Amino acid sequence: MEKSTFRFSRIQFRLILWGLGFLLFFTLIAAVAIGPVSIPLIAVWQIVRESFFGSPSENINSAYVNIVWYLRLPRAFQAIATGSGLAVTGAMMQAVLNNPMADPYILGISSGASVGAVLVILFNLFNSLQTYALSTAAFIGGISAFFLVLLLNKNRYEILRLILSGVAVSSALSSLTSLLIFQARHGEGIQSVLFWLMGSLARAEWSTLPLTILVVSFGITFMIMSARILNALSLGEETAITLGVKAISCRYSIMIVGTLIVGVLVAQCGTIGFVGLIVPHLVRLFFGNNHRKLIPVCALAGSIFLTWVDIACRLVVKPAELPLGILTSLCGAPLFIFLLDRKSTIGIRKK
């Protein structure tokens, strides 16, 4: 297992977690206050206090209430959940597949979810589900793509075959998405699809947040509890079996949980690249490949990173909004090229 650049005692690690938690809280406040319309912090506090605790406040601007409560606050929580979920799933995929280039979308989940979302946006399927139509269709598409990859693997667990099956399914479903967009007749729907495919938190609502937070919280807890297994799997299948880990069954169960996380997040936000690829590598620079430390730090770091990216997306071309995927790619691609030159960043040992 690769060693980290720094060594931290248990107390130091806890202090780092508390520091990241405080930084996340500051980021949450910034996400609510900063935007095309700047809102004073005192107004933010008054609105939150009245909404959560029922403490009436006088002279609150009704426009501020609408912006904070109905737009920015659910969006900020969605960014936190999405960033943490993608970062943790990326770290998990890199360990389970024993491949430092793996990311949350490697098994075709995002492509399957995209097909489901396009069918809803362009052809008005699942109308009976109303606001949950897009999320449901995208989730079904993502989960179906994952099980199709497993079917193509023919019950044989070979990492290379699994990855190549994912690439094949992803390519086929991406082509199907392009075909559906090409055949669409109304431009507004096409624009909505393209914006969703590039990643966006604009659809965040209080009604959809509980499911997202519940699934991501369950997934992160599960990954932390599986830290010993992930440590063993990252050393290779033979070593994992020697250490008493049932490699194949453990890999499948962990991947199913990861697929559940990614399916829900893609259903809500579309495809947001590089978060699950870059954040785990950066965290490994400081904390090594011990998943007991890697998973919680990735969750906090991913939340902070994606929330600030979302803030930037709202400011760069205001009053319009830039898709998240554009900025994450612009930030992630150069950084990843830089990390490729550092041997110490590849925290998963080659066979």
Query: Hey, what amino acid is at 314?
Result: R
Q: How far is CA 81 from CA 73, 75, 214, 296, in A?
A: 13, 10, 9, 13
pTM given for the model: 0.88
* 265 within 8 A of 54, measured Cβ to Cβ: no
Higher pLDDT, 223 or 255: 223
> In whole angstroms, how far apart are CA 180 and each of 41, 143, 144, 263, 268?
45, 20, 18, 20, 20
Gap between the Cα atoms of 170 and 144, Å rounded = 12
pLDDT tens figures, 303-344 = 999 999 999 998 888 777 888 888 888 888 887 777 666 654
pLDDT tens for 264-312 read 898 888 888 889 888 998 898 888 888 999 999 999 999 999 999 999 9
Domain map of the chain by residue range? 10-15+73-303+320-345
Least confident of 29-33, 214-218, 225-229, 284-288: 284-288
pLDDT at 347 over 60: no
Q: In terms of pLDDT, which residue wins out, 161 or 75?
A: 75
| Mean pLDDT (the chain, rounded) | 83
Model confidence band, residue 86 (pLDDT cutoffs 50, 70, 90)? very high
**Burial grade of 250 (CB within 10 A; 0-12, 13-18, 19 or more):** middle
Q: Which fold has domain 10-15+73-303+320-345?
A: ABC transporter involved in vitamin B12 uptake, BtuC (1.10.3470)
Average pLDDT over residues 98-110: 81
Q: What is the spatial distance between Cα 96 and Cα 233, in angstroms, rounded to a whole number?
A: 6
